[in-house]
Structure 1
């Protein structure tokens, strides 16, 4: 597609992408919604004040919500936009394609330098709930083999349902946010039964994708009446308590996808996870990339879903369901201050589709709301260079490996930075996600 904003053919933010984010600048420090295009950000707040927007055929709901965010009458993020229906998202995307493909270039009043040090990215949405799944067969098998042996690697329920745990929404942060090493109960030595309180000694990353739920204006049942203060702008566009989704319905109500790093304290996890699963080992920090890539941008990259053996129960059958061929890379910057590639995997390595995960989440009738964040779980590829965590890469710390000048790498050390990237390559263009990056700081002391 022609675009009035120039960029090279392999740029991660072409006109075929148009991901949404929230940014601010040194000149205008108020966070506001924007769209990545080349090395620029299309400032949606500024765009709403131009004749281009005023004269557009964009449907009234989109016009109202984007203009309201642009005028700062509501929270300056994407909450209200995410809470619209899919038809509205698509209409606004067509509008953006139209103004960016015009021969007349857009002016500096609506285009902001994306890569400038004076441009800062913020959390794109208010996350009300966060659930993380365990949807990669390769990762589950690798971890199970290390812990229980290959013959008992897979738990009996794993091939029947998407396993997940409920995470902590308050500690989800945007890329570039540093965080402190967590402390908790760990076993000092293998075979110990008495724990000690200590900073985590086995800090790990997890290579994941996250997906954001949108509006659930379904014809079945009444819309829920919400009481959450930041949900008032959503107009009750959540599923009603007791209402269930099919995988097909769930897929249609996913707004978009981000990169996600579910940082994990493995030694805290080992001691706490039986019988109720992860808790403090996962709640201290989760990093996401700042740009939400729409499902429409990813649609050309759909690939077949895994063959399920045994067959899934009927409520999880996803006719027409797909995975997505998105290449993923993990890099670590350690002692020599350079990033080194540690792993290459793909989003296609999911045993369950996004629709199946979201549908299963709703099975009991728990209310799903716009802005809920769901993680895929670690995405490991079926090859040695495609392991999505250090737990797998170092074989539980038993097999150190080289990382630049460091020859004994197992788990992360204070000062290490981890960067996730992702890309889907089409005919003459690339869909990118930006960086998902964080740096590990030393543990904080206990409060007096």
Structure 2
């Protein structure tokens, strides 16, 4: 656990911002035609390339190509020792006890976020989405199979997952096109059309920070060594497309049209103080999945939907500690058969839901598959998302007066085609 809770920063507003010196998430921004690596402090991006050029990062083994880069992968590949040394140096430069001359030089490297174009932070080679929330799995299973068969027989034996599509992962701020696909109509006949059941999924994802070798499973006791940090993750879903296609091989076009992540990657070190025990696992998992230590995180999560008239409706407040399977179990199972992982790979948790209504991380659950529409504060009734909606995911952890925010994922769902809108209106009238 980092012993930094007492640290204060000289950067205006940083201490109370959710991005204090204890956080320092990494990101990438565009400046004068090139992309640069930065950390966030308060409402500023600290340009690490400029810090390096003026000599404030000497002795850390950093190269120009690492800091003037479209992605964080090369920085992550430096390894745990160098990354921790960089983090420690940045905390020294940004703390209120920093050397006066170094503080003045560092100040010149701060860029207001309001004037900064943030980019997708990772070159994501592979992406896996788990299904690790028992509350979510029970809710969905109960809807479609009944309470007696809510969990599939394998669910408590292994972390269920599917391999997603990394090419359609986008950053916060980029709009999401309305999904189209094959849907089964009420008479059991497949048709092509635009989804009528577009949904979000509230998730966290961890970023692989260390390669593994093909044929060499990652053991539970070493799995944490492969984790660089965390992002918020929205696994956008078209439920009607998904329902028709997912048997027998799982999600495909109902998921692969878009997933979105936050601009900033919160390093593992920032969340170490918030590690906690997860739910009791029964029956005991097989030996290769048995826990060595606590790898759940006490992170509060929230989803809001902003309507076209700018009304904000909070759909869900929950916590990542409700997940049944932890990140080490996910990685140990992922590599059991010899699959290798690479720096920049993304491992998402699956929808995170708590035990109570109001803690359920999707519209599918919140409206109980449309049977119990949500009444918004502006009078609208919703079962699923509407065109023009902006979905915003937020997350934070807090202890001893220090708040660590994971940024936010905010994306707007674009309008459907004119033809689809006309069809929907006819269906409503009929």
Structure 1 length normalisation: TM-score? Answer: 0.88
- Contact 1:183–1:443 (8 Å) recurs in 2: no
Q: Which residue of 2 is the match for residue 124 of structure 1? A: 121
Deviations 1:89-115 (A, max 9, x none): 21111111111120523444311002x
Could you tell me which runs of 5 or more consecutive residues in structure 1 were left unpaired when the two chains were aligned: 216-237
Match of 2:45 among 29, 34, 41: 41
Match of 2:8 among 2, 22, 33: 2
RMSD over aligned Cα, in angstroms? 1.5
Deviation at 1:367, TM superposition (A): 1.4
- Contact 1:335–1:405 (8 Å) recurs in 2: no
SS of residue in 2 equivalent to 1:76? coil
Match of 1:84 among 78, 85, 98: 78
Q: 1:128-207 residue pairs with structure 2 within 5 A?
A: 128-189=125-186, 192-207=187-202
Structure 2 length normalisation: TM-score? Answer: 0.92
- Distance in 1 (CA, whole Å) between partners of 2:259 and 2:221 is 28
- Contact 1:10–1:428 (8 Å) recurs in 2: no
Deviation at 1:159, TM superposition (A): 0.3
Deviation at 1:29, TM superposition (A): 3.8
Match of 2:272 among 276, 299, 311: 299
Deviation at 1:356, TM superposition (A): 0.8
SS of residue in 1 equivalent to 2:56? helix
- Distance in 2 (CA, whole Å) between partners of 1:332 and 1:243 is 43
Alignment pair present for 1:426 and 2:399: yes
Deviations 1:260-315 (A, max 9, x none): 00000000011000000000001000000010001110010011122111110000
SS of residue in 1 equivalent to 2:138? helix
**Change over 3 Å in CA distance of 1:198–1:47 after alignment to 2:** same
- Distance in 1 (CA, whole Å) between partners of 2:308 and 2:175 is 17
Alignment pair present for 1:12 and 2:18: yes
Deviations 1:34-54 (A, max 9, x none): 000011111011111012223
- Contact 2:9–2:15 (8 Å) recurs in 1: no
Deviation at 1:176, TM superposition (A): 0.5
- Distance in 2 (CA, whole Å) between partners of 1:385 and 1:106 is 47
Could you tell me which runs of 5 or more consecutive residues in structure 2 were left unpaired when the two chains were aligned: 1-6, 420-430
SS of residue in 1 equivalent to 2:57? helix
Deviations 1:341-391 (A, max 9, x none): 111011111111111101111011011101000100000011111010000
Deviations 1:223-271 (A, max 9, x none): xxxxxxxxxxxxxxx3222110112211111000000000000000110
- Distance in 1 (CA, whole Å) between partners of 2:86 and 2:15 is 24
Q: 1:310-389 residue pairs with structure 2 within 5 A?
A: 310-389=283-362
Deviation at 1:444, TM superposition (A): 5.6
- Contact 2:217–2:332 (8 Å) recurs in 1: yes
Q: Which residue of 1 is the match for residue 410 of structure 2? A: 437
- Distance in 2 (CA, whole Å) between partners of 1:247 and 1:181 is 40
SS of residue in 1 equivalent to 2:322? coil
Alignment pair present for 1:110 and 2:83: no
Q: Which residue of 2 is the match for residue 407 of structure 1? A: 380
- Contact 1:4–1:106 (8 Å) recurs in 2: no
Q: Which residue of 2 is the match for residue 235 of structure 1? A: none
- Contact 1:256–1:293 (8 Å) recurs in 2: yes
- Distance in 1 (CA, whole Å) between partners of 2:168 and 2:135 is 27
Q: Which residue of 2 is the match for residue 30 of structure 1? A: 34
- Distance in 2 (CA, whole Å) between partners of 1:187 and 1:303 is 43
- Contact 2:15–2:21 (8 Å) recurs in 1: no
More displaced stretch, 247-256 vs 403-412: 403-412
Q: Report how many aligned residue pairs link the two structures.
A: 408
SS of residue in 1 equivalent to 2:40? strand
- Distance in 2 (CA, whole Å) between partners of 1:328 and 1:262 is 15
Q: Which residue of 2 is the match for residue 278 of structure 1? A: 251
Deviations 1:175-199 (A, max 9, x none): 001011111111222xx32111100
Deviations 1:185-229 (A, max 9, x none): 11222xx321111001000000000110012xxxxxxxxxxxxxx
- Contact 2:15–2:42 (8 Å) recurs in 1: no
SS of residue in 2 equivalent to 1:143? helix
Deviation at 1:318, TM superposition (A): 1.9
